[in-house]
Amino acid sequence: MMCGVLGVIGHSSASRVLYDGLIVLQHRGQDAAGMATLESGCFHLVKNSGLVRDVFLDEEISLLSGESGIAHCRYPTSGSHDLASEAQPFYVNFPYGLVMAHNGNLVNPDEVRHDLVNRNFRHINTSSDSELLLNVLAHELGCAAQGRALTPDHISNAVLALSNRVKGAYSVVCLIAHHGLLAFQDRYGIRPLVLGRSKDNAGNISYMVASESVALDVNGFELMGDIKAGEIVFIDFSMNIYRFQYEKNVLSRPCLFEYIYFSRPDSISYGHTISDIRRRMGILLAERVREAGLHSRIDVVVPIPDSACHSALSLSLSLGLPYREAFVKNRYIGRTFIMSGHSFRKKSIRSKLNPIVQEFRGKSVLLVDDSIVRGTTSREIVQMARHSGASNVFMAAASPPVRYPNCYGIDMPTYNELIAHSRDEDDICKEIDADGLVYQDLSDLKNLIANLSPDIYSAEASCFDGVYIVD
């Protein structure tokens, strides 16, 4: 699942830091939230369905005392995960006291479950793949340390053993009683995870791990950089920090959708602000619009807020066209994407986006969205633009056609629901009733991400190219 994770160690008010961090990671998951803190070797755990602000009231925050902790917010999925008992963090007590928060998706959960139950004699209480991951880690830590105090070497061996059993995407934050805070990435580094540090007035150091750097910003932590593919970060309670590769010679393959849609524009990934990456996507898309010969037929560029605004603005500047925020988004409407049922989704787009009619009247408009998934949004907004009097309505997507389901955490469940699955671009254009449709080019986009950093091999792009790297 696409989620938000956080961890902090060595801070006088861990739960406050985690709460403020979760609030700015709320976009990563609105379904459930949880937090575990550690105080004198004892965990306090609070988790429930709902938004961060509803799960943690003053009473919960004061219960969550201690100087270290982890936290999680869960992405809403349409399936069976809607239970509060499957909210994270998860806890196990053997052979170490462990709590874990996980962002990602396992692709071989049945095999992992079978092995855990039948070979390792561990009890699994839920259908969550994160509980599986935690139990594999607990088992492998036990095997590596053989009853001794854990060392960074033991941890490295355990995570390596885990990575040989568990396939998929996992960016993990874990608190180990009497030992410290552990964070690691799968060997492809698909989901984001960053590390930060802060020093208080008395000179005390604390560390924080988070899905996105905005969680560090709001807490005054300085960003140290990304936790990379195959990397472990372990910080003990004396604030000694160990960073090492359990898997060497691997490069990261960050999820393309983080850059297109999911991450906040003010987050920093591999040294680049997401808004800047989106601006560059807009410049690339402008080239495609030019190539299609549409630029001379457009009066105005209109973004679909919020995620398309940065790319639409730079596209309009590239083409020398005016930019108008002509759809106004209601910020209080909540999640339209996951809501099941087509008519429900359609109706909620209407109440989420309202057109400023005079921006459309008599004009030839280019609507820019970050992505077209089911096509529901595009179809609705093309119609709204027409009803507002637009003479021509063109559509551009800052990402390529979404043709395959994503198995690493984005909710794109079935082939049939994807508008681009069995259609070419002309068919899609007809289907959304636009006068022209331009998509981003996949190799342009992959090059953009590959060139962000020498630590990146390429982007994980399976929902666009059907190449699933971890199975």
Report the amino acid identity of residue 147. Answer: G
Query: How would DSSP label each residue in 429-468?
Result: HHHTT-SEEEE--HHHHHHHHHTT-TTB---B-HHHH---
Helix (H, G, I), strand (E, B) or coil at 139: helix
Question: To the nearest whole angstrom, how small is the minimum distance from the Cβ of residue 187 to ligand 5GP?
Answer: 24
Q: Least Å distance between CB 339 and ligand 5GP?
A: 9
Phi, psi of 200 (to 5 degrees): -85, 180
Q: Total residues contacting ligand 5GP (rule CB under 6 A)?
A: 17
> 451 φ, ψ to 5°?
-85, 0
As a whole number of angstroms, the distance between CA 388 and CA 362 comes to 9
Q: Rounded to the nearest whole angstrom, what is the least distance from the CB of residue 336 to ligand 5GP in the complex?
A: 6
Tokens linked to 412: 């794109």
Strand, helix or coil for residue 98: strand
Contact 139/166 with Cβ under 8 angstroms? no
CB closer to Mg ion, 67 vs 369 = 369
CA distance 403 to 415: 7
Least Å distance, CB 346 to Mg ion, is: 15
Locus of tokens 């003010």: 266
CB of 292 closer than 8 Å to CB of 438? yes
Find the helix or strand (DSSP H, E) in which 53 lies: helix 52-55
Which 332-361 positions form the footprint of ligand 5GP (CB under 6 A)?
A: 335, 337
169 lies in the site for ligand 5GP, by CB under 6 A: no
3 state DSSP class of 171? strand
Quick check: 349 and 380 in contact, CB under 8 A?
A: yes
**Shortest Cβ distance from residue 76 to ligand 5GP (Å)?**
8
Q: Is 263 in the site for ligand 5GP (CB under 6 A)?
A: no
Does the protein bind ligand 5GP through residue 464 (CB under 6 A)? no
Binding residues for Mg ion restricted to 295-334, rule: CB under 5 A: 307
**With contact defined as beta carbons under 8 Å apart, do 384 and 328 qualify?**
no
x/- mask, ligand 5GP, residues 387-426, rule CB under 6 A, reads: -----------------------xx---------------
Residues 6+ apart with CB under 8 A from 50: 32, 33
Q: Which is nearer to ligand 5GP, 12 or 422 (CB)?
A: 422
Nearer to ligand 5GP, 2 or 87 (CB): 2
192 binds ligand 5GP (CB under 6 A): no
According to the binding rule CB under 6 A, does residue 329 interact with ligand 5GP?
no
Q: List the structure tokens of 266.
A: 């003010």
Report the helix count and the strand count for the chain, using DSSP H and E.
16, 21
224 binds, among ligand 5GP, Mg ion, none (CB under 5 to 8 A by kind): none
Residue 275's binding partner, choosing from Mg ion, ligand 5GP, none, with beta-carbon cut-off 5 to 8 A by kind?
none
Which two tokens mark 14? 């861990």
Shortest Å distance, C-beta 348 to ligand 5GP: 10
Most distant pair of Cα atoms in the chain: their distance: 76
Q: Find the binder of ligand 5GP among 45, 161, 224, 372 (CB under 6 A).
A: 372
Number of other CB atoms surrounding residue 423 within 10 Å: 16
211 binds ligand 5GP (CB under 6 A): no
Selected binder of ligand 5GP within 140, 217, 226, 370 (CB under 6 A): 370
User: Cβ 373 to ligand 5GP, closest distance in Å?
Assistant: 3
Among 56, 184, 259, 261, binds ligand 5GP (CB under 6 A): 261
Question: x/- site string to ligand 5GP, residues 70 to 99, per CB under 6 A?
Answer: ------------------------------
Q: Is 73 a catalytic residue?
A: no
For ligand 5GP, give the closer residue by CB, 278 or 363: 278
378 binds, among Mg ion, ligand 5GP, none (CB under 5 to 8 A by kind): ligand 5GP
- Taken as a whole, the chain contains a residue count of 471
Q: Segment 277-306, which members bind ligand 5GP (CB under 6 A)?
A: 304
Q: Which residue has the tokens 């196990």?
A: 92
Terminal-residue alpha carbon distance, the chain: 16
371 binds, among Mg ion, ligand 5GP, none (CB under 5 to 8 A by kind): ligand 5GP
According to CB under 6 A, which one of 269, 378, 388, 406 is a site residue for ligand 5GP?
A: 378
Q: Smallest gap, in angstroms, from Cβ of residue 173 to ligand 5GP?
A: 22
**Separation of alpha carbons 460 and 15, rounded Å:** 33
Site for Mg ion, rule CB under 5 A: 307
Known catalytic residues are 3
Site for ligand 5GP, rule CB under 6 A: 261, 304, 307, 335, 337, 369-378, 410-411
